[in-house]
């Protein structure tokens, strides 16, 4: 067997000189010439400058989550892997100590090469040094795995994560309890030795306040017995009326360690995320143990951001910090202690409840206090520390009941995740915080799928990200890239999450040990160009949805907008109260944040997290009144004339709130509706319309950005959530896009796969918008730009365009307007200057279905060691295209296949002829070569290739190179782990057709 693994990303992408968008320069690319009199060159696409779109810079290219087995890494291998990532066209990596697949942690020897150790630091230095050479950036997780933890913190330290555990004992009416303070219902974790009794209370049971899971209590009856405790015991006689309960509250450490530890010696324990001391434990460790002079210098050269994963604090009790009682009193003006019964938790379940409305208000105030502490002492403090080192802070600010929308405004880069987020509104929450604060990037941990290791396809990844980009994401951190090896791992090498509990794990381990890595440069180029567009200029969103409780990762959307508005073209983002205090929260020309998202209206509805109750804080109501008086249209859904405060009200506070709301509701630009179906009509009545309008409701999603007087619209045929049924279908309808430019404006289509810009030749326009036809397969995306003529090197100037046509396509060429058709006939084109032209095409060759293929396969097998691959070469002749799993010789194969066929074109074939190669079903990645010329990358979700200009009369050789995931081989090589996965249908399965067309000039 031959060892000949292709490890490279392929040849360098074509680079051509063209227009620089930033500079406004115009340079035309010479069109393909014609050898036949009267023939129309198969051209009309202008290439963008490598300075902007064609070859996006490293700074906007996708990154990898780079998993290390702690510090058991070789600096030379680290440098090689940086080169692999760079050669494949990616922009950087995030170093994370993650090794869930290694169950025997003793093999990693945390004492000698744990996280934060000298070998780990040597690896970090090697990564930063090579990244600086290659122009990549390196992000660093703040601790090993997640949540944030550092060595040196013990479970009993004040800096460690804390919990408030409770104990309870029932006492009958008139009975006397004499004995020890009730013990917590859950024992402390074994390393915890310290605890502090915060309080002991008695409360009368009130059945009227009970719920299915909660014991009802009477708040007025709560009595503090703490001072009666002597030597851990108390004596108390219950009043004669009612049944009573004694409740004890114990503060202690959680002893939580980061996932899949231990990662270090001494072991790292999760820090208190709500206190300055907890954050200081993190920054202090870095300052003492990691940030040597060399590391500091390298961070300035190649450092990107410190990263914190989602806030997954694990406790059977209530998250806590010592400062909570004081902070609660400072924020609310009242003591926290009487409210504790309504707050304690038992495995995430509430235990006690007072009257329902009061209980909701208590819990709101508590979590608002927690949110304040988290955003002040953790998020802000870590961000400021990162800035002192020339770094940014990127984080997933959710997992607790805290205001993640406000957190996103504090962070340099907020991040969501495709695994944990339930739908696109979860991203729109973070996007609101980002855009109101004037930040640029919203990141996404992308492509983690449960049980899909080594079977994840890039088309699945692209379908997932398509909708996320429409919802505001513009940076992809791919999940992920594993370091090459670790003790005891099997082929194809170390994978952080596979095996996972004995089976295939999360996501994928992309890299050169995967066949599809051969085409990874195409994926990186596509993602980078999408990022480039979506990080350009400023965002635009139609409506801001005010959310009283700023959670995310909940799957809770907005009334009318999520289900009805989005399919019509509306876009929205979510704001919470703190965002209305930002400098951007001003109104000009009827727009909120006019220099940013420029929301045209604010939508306010009841709080979904508290039974959709119409609630509003008095200070937030005053902010809304200020905005409305400045001219912002507001639509309110619900009985806000009877609104309640979200927290426990001060005396007369509810009346004061309603007085403010009365003034708000009396304004002409404020509309109240009681039925969510009336929201759209209310907006229309206020003169508010979306920037994008669809001819028919559809699954089309859009994201609008403005740079100068150029509008960019990212369009994706996606869905609100991956679990939505039925599947998305192909769309084909008109889309009307609002334009910023007042002068001559023309539309361009930007192809993120090739980096090419095409001036669209068929459209209509009115005073403020341009209407184009959009056709997209499921998951497919495109970019439409509206700008001045010549913006992308286009030389068509003021030539007339088509406003309607019955041809397959109308396009501009270097000789003028042309039609492209796949059937003979006479075609009518109505032009923008009022004339109607007819074009006759007498003949078009019929479609060709290749009937024989030669398939050359590089079949991948385990090699001599965990990271070596043996390749067996096979050649087959196929009369019918079938998945490899249905071809006996390839049933368990994985690798790279090259399908080769020939087609014979007629002798009258000219340069006015072309053809589309329709590949049908092909999985996973592919490239096409025609007559020895490799073509530009093709849209993975629309596998149709334009072969115009590459075909010739007579014999033509077409080759389709296909790379597959590894799962079919791993099923056979490691059946104990992967054997339960069904064989996957990989390869070119078609049907494949070559559909000729003829291109002819429109004689205007």
| Residue 767 neighbours by CB distance under 10 Å | 6
Phi and psi at residue 812, to the nearest 5°:
-90, 140
Q: Find how far residue 941's CA is from the centre of its chain.
A: 19
Structure tokens at 125: 């230095």
Residue 8: is its pLDDT beyond 60? no
Query: CA 9, 12, 13: angle at the middle one, nearest 5?
Result: 110
Structure tokens at 684: 């229309």
Range from 43-47, 173-177, 227-231, 735-739 carrying the lowest mean pLDDT: 43-47
pLDDT in tens, 938-989: 999 999 999 999 999 999 999 999 999 999 999 999 999 999 999 999 999 9
> Quick one: angle between helices 424-437 and 458-470, nearest 10?
50
Rounded average pLDDT over 531-549: 97
Give me the mean pLDDT over the 561-584 stretch: 97
Give CA–CA dist 275/283, Å, rounded: 13
Centroid of chain to Cα 407: 16
Could you tell me if 473 and 427 are in contact, meaning their C-beta atoms sit under 8 angstroms apart? yes
d(CA 660, CA 149): 46
Tokens read off for 978: 């992967």
911-943 as b/e: b if 16+ CB within 10 A: bbbbbbbbbeebbbbbbbbbeeeeebbbbbbbb
Average pLDDT, the chain: 93
Which of 437, 433, 361 has the alpha carbon at shortest distance from 398?
Answer: 433
In this prediction, residue 40 carries a pLDDT of 43
| pLDDT score, position 132 | 98
253-275 pLDDT, tens digit per residue, is: 999 999 999 999 999 999 999 99
For the record, the structure tokens of 703 come out as 């994201």
SS3 labels along 435-483: HHHCCCCEEEEECCCCCCCCCCCHHHHHHHHHHHHHCCCCEEEEEEEEC
- Cβ(310)–Cβ(402) under 8 Å? no
| Whole-number Å distance between alpha carbons of 257 and 616 | 39
Nearest-angstrom CA–CA distance, 477 and 894: 26
Residue 681: which H helix or E strand, with range? Answer: helix 679-685
What is the structure's pLDDT at 459?
Answer: 95
Least confident of 229-233, 306-310, 501-505, 722-726: 722-726
With cut-offs at 50, 70 and 90, classify the pLDDT of residue 14: very low
Report pLDDT for 19: 25
Cα–Cα distance, 671 to 544 (Å, whole number): 15
Name the token pair of 612: 């959709």
- Whether the model clears a pTM of 0.85, i.e. scores above it, the answer is yes
* Better-scored residue on pLDDT, 105 or 601: 601
Q: Is the distance from CB of 74 to CB of 127 less than 8 angstroms? A: no
**Could you tell me if 498 and 101 are in contact, meaning their C-beta atoms sit under 8 angstroms apart?**
yes
Per-residue pLDDT band for 18 (boundaries 50, 70, 90) equals: very low
Span 448-458, pLDDT tens digits: 999 999 999 99
Local confidence band at 44 (pLDDT 50, 70, 90 cut-offs): very low
Where does the pLDDT of residue 719 fall: very low under 50, low under 70, confident under 90, or very high at 90 and above? confident
Identify which of 494, 412, 381, 414 has the alpha carbon closest to the alpha carbon of residue 107: 494
- pLDDT tens per residue across span 661-712: 999 999 999 999 999 999 999 999 999 999 999 999 999 999 999 999 999 9
* Residue 369 in this model has a pLDDT that exceeds 60: yes
Q: How much of the chain is in helix, strand and coil states, percent to nearest 5?
A: 25, 30, 45
pLDDT at residue number 806: 96
Exposed / middle / buried, residue 676 (Cβ in 10 Å: 0-12, 13-18, 19+)? middle
Residue 21 has pLDDT above 70, yes or no: no
pLDDT of residue 30: 24
Handedness of CA 944, 950, 954, 959 (dihedral sign): negative
Instruction: Read off the tokens for 656.
Output: 């004061």
- Pick from 748, 579, 737, 581: which is nearest to 44 by CA? 748
Sign of CA dihedral 73, 75, 78, 80: negative
Dump pLDDT digits (tens) for 753-770.
Answer: 999 999 999 999 998 999
Q: What is the pLDDT of residues 382-399, one digit of tens each?
A: 999 999 999 999 999 999
Alpha helix ranges (H) inside 941-1002: 967-973, 975-978
pLDDT(240) > 60:
yes
Q: Per residue in 435-486, pLDDT tens?
A: 999 999 999 999 999 999 999 999 999 999 999 999 999 999 999 999 999 9
pLDDT exceeds cutoff 80 at 201: yes
Closest CA to 645 of 332, 195, 323, 932: 332
758 φ, ψ (degrees, to nearest 5): -120, 125
Confidence band of 144 (pLDDT split at 50, 70, 90) = very high
Closest CA to 44 of 1002, 940, 926: 1002
How would residue 52 be classed by pLDDT, with cut points 50, 70 and 90? Answer: confident
Provide the pLDDT confidence category of residue 798 given band limits of 50, 70 and 90.
confident
Spatial separation of the C-alpha atoms in residues 569 and 737, rounded to whole Å: 10
pLDDT more than 70, % of the chain: 95
């Amino acid at each position: 067997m031959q060892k000949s693994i292709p490890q490279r990303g392929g040849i360098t992408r074509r680079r051509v000189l063209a227009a620089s968008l930033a500079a406004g320069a115009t340079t035309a690319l010479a069109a393909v010439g014609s050898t036949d009199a009267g023939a129309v060159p198969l051209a009309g696409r202008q290439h963008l400058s490598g300075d902007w779109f064609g070859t996006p810079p490293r700074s906007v290219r996708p990154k990898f989550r780079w998993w290390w087995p702690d510090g058991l890494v070789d600096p030379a291998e680290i440098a090689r892997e940086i080169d692999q990532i760079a050669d494949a066209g990616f922009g950087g990596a995030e170093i994370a100590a993650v090794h869930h697949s290694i169950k025997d942690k003793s093999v990693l020897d945390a004492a000698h090469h744990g996280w934060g150790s000298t070998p780990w630091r040597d690896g970090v230095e090697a990564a930063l040094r090579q990244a600086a050479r290659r122009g990549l950036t390196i992000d660093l997780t703040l601790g090993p795995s997640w949540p944030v933890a550092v060595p040196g913190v013990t479970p009993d330290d004040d800096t460690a994560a804390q919990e408030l555990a409770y104990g309870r004992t029932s006492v009958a009416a008139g009975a006397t309890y004499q004995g020890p303070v009730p013990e917590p219902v859950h024992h402390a974790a074994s390393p915890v030795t310290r605890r502090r009794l915060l309080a002991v209370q008695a409360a009368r049971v009130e059945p009227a306040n009970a719920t299915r899971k909660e014991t009802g209590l009477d708040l007025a009856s709560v009595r503090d017995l703490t001072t009666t405790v002597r030597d851990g015991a108390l004596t108390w006689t219950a009043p004669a009326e009612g049944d009573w309960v004694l409740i004890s509250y114990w503060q202690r450490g959680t002893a939580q360690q980061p996932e899949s530890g231990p990662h270090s010696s001494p072991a790292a324990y999760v820090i208190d995320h709500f206190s300055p001391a907890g954050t200081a434990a993190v920054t202090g460790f870095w300052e003492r143990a990691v940030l040597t002079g060399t590391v500091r210098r390298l961070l300035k050269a190649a450092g990107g951001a410190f990263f914190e994963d989602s806030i997954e604090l694990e406790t059977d009790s209530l998250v806590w910090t010592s400062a909570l009682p004081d902070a609660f009193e400072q924020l609310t003006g009242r003591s926290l202690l009487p409210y504790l019964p309504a707050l304690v938790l038992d495995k995430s379940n509430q235990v006690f409840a007072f009257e329902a409305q009061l209980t909701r208000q208590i819990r709101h105030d508590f979590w608002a206090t927690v949110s304040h502490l988290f955003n002040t002492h953790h998020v802000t403090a870590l961000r400021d520390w990162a800035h002192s080192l020339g770094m940014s802070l990127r984080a997933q600010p959710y997992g607790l009941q805290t205001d993640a929308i406000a957190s996103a405004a504090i962070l340099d880069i907020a991040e969501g995740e495709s695994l944990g987020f339930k739908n696109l509104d979860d991203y729109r929450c973070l996007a609101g915080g980002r855009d109101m604060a004037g930040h640029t990037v919203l990141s996404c941990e992308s492509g983690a799928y449960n049980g899909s290791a080594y079977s994840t396809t890039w088309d699945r990844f692209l379908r997932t990200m398509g909708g996320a980009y429409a919802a505001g994401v513009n940076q992809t951190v791919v999940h992920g890239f594993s370091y090459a090896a670790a003790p005891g791992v099997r082929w194809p090498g170390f994978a952080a999450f596979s095996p996972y509990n004995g089976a295939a794990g999360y996501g994928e381990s992309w890299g050169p040990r995967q066949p599809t890595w051969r085409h990874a440069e195409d994926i990186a180029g596509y993602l980078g160009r999408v990022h480039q567009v979506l990080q350009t200029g400023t965002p635009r969103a139609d409506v801001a949805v005010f959310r009283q409780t700023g959670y995310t990762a909940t799957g809770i959307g907005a009334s009318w907008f999520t289900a009805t508005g989005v399919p019509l073209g509306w876009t929205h983002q979510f704001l919470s109260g703190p965002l209305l205090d930002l400098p951007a929260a001003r109104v000009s020309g009827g727009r909120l944040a006019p220099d940013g998202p420029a929301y045209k209206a604010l939508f306010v509805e009841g709080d979904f997290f508290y039974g959709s109750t119409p609630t509003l804080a008095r200070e937030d109501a005053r902010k809304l009144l200020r905005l409305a008086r400045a001219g912002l249209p507001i639509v309110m859904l619900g009985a806000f004339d009877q609104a309640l405060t979200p927290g426990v009200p001060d005396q007369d506070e509810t009346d004061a709130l309603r007085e403010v709301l009365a003034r708000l509701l009396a304004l002409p630009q404020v509309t109240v509706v009681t039925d969510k179906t009336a929201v759209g009509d209310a907006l229309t009545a206020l003169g508010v319309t979306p920037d994008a309008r669809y001819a028919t409701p559809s699954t089309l999603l859009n994201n609008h950005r403005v740079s100068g007087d150029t509008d960019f619209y990212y369009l994706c045929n996606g869905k609100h959530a991956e679990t939505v049924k039925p599947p998305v279908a192909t769309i084909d309808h008109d889309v009307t896009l609002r334009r910023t430019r007042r002068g001559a404006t023309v539309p361009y289509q930007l192809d993120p796969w090739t980096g090419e810009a095409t001036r669209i030749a068929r459209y209509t326009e009115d005073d403020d918008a341009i209407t184009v036809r959009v056709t997209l397969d499921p998951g497919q995306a495109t970019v439409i730009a509206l700008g001045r003529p010549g913006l992308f090197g286009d030389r068509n100037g003021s030539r007339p365009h088509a406003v309607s046509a019955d041809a397959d396509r109308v396009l501009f060429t270097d000789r003028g307007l042309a039609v492209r058709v796949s059937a003979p006939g006479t075609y009518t084109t109505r032009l923008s200057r009022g004339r109607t032209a007819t074009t006759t095409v007498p003949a078009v060759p019929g479609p060709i279905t290749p009937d024989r293929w030669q398939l050359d396969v590089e079949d991948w097998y385990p090699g001599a060691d965990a990271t070596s691959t043996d390749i067996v070469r096979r050649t087959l002749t196929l009369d019918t295209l079938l998945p490899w799993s249905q071809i006996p010789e390839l049933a368990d194969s994985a690798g790279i296949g090259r399908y080769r066929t020939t087609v014979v074109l007629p002798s009258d074939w000219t340069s006015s002829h072309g053809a589309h190669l329709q590949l049908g079903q092909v999985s996973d990645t592919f490239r096409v070569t025609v007559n020895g010329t490799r073509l530009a990358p093709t849209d993975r979700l629309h596998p149709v290739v334009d072969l115009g200009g590459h075909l010739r009369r007579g014999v033509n050789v077409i080759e389709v190179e296909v790379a597959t995931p590894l799962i079919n081989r791993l099923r056979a090589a490691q059946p104990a782990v992967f054997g339960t996965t069904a064989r996957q249908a990989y390869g070119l399965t078609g049907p494949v057709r070559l559909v000729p067309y003829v291109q002819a000039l429109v004689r205007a």
